């Protein structure tokens, strides 16, 4: 799996990013090392909403707490309800 440098959608820090295996590019894994953020997996739809600044501060703090627990935050977006879907992955 090839890792590239991209901006973290939560904090805009340059970080390593790679596509999640078998996701056909719909999910990206970010290895953010920013103190105010953490590692996360973010769907394409959620990334587009995060670019507009929707709820970035809240999601950053959740990712930070996941990092301290040794977990990864998975962020998806549910279009019909207009809400982010969060899942903590060990």
- Picking from 74, 65, 69, the residue whose alpha carbon sits closest to that of residue 30 is 74
Higher pLDDT: 35 or 76? It is: 76
Domain count, the chain: 1
Contact call for residues 59 and 67 (beta carbons, < 8 A): no
What's the predicted TM-score (pTM) here?
0.86
For 35-51, what is each residue's pLDDT tens digit? 889 899 999 999 999 88
63-87 exposure pattern, b = at least 16 Cβ within 10 A, e = fewer: bbebbeeebbbbbbbeeeeeebebe
* pLDDT exceeds cutoff 70 at 28: yes
Q: What is the pLDDT of residue 53?
A: 77
Q: What is the pLDDT of residue 2?
A: 63
- Picking from 75, 83, 79, 77, the residue whose alpha carbon sits closest to that of residue 32 is 75
* Three-class secondary structure of residue 51 per DSSP: coil
User: Which residue segment(s) compose the domain that 62 sits in?
Assistant: 4-70
For 11-25, what is each residue's pLDDT tens digit? 989 999 999 888 888
């Amino acid at each position: 799996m090839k890792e590239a440098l991209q901006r973290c959608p939560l904090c805009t820090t340059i970080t390593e990013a790679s596509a999640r295996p078998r996701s056909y590019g719909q999910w990206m894994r970010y290895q953010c090392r920013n103190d105010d953020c953490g590692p996360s997996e973010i769907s394409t739809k959620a990334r587009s909403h995060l670019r507009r600044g929707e709820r970035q501060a809240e999601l950053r703090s959740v990712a930070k707490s996941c990092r301290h627990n040794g977990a990864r935050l998975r962020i998806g977006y549910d279009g019909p309800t207009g809400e982010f879907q969060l899942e903590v992955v060990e």
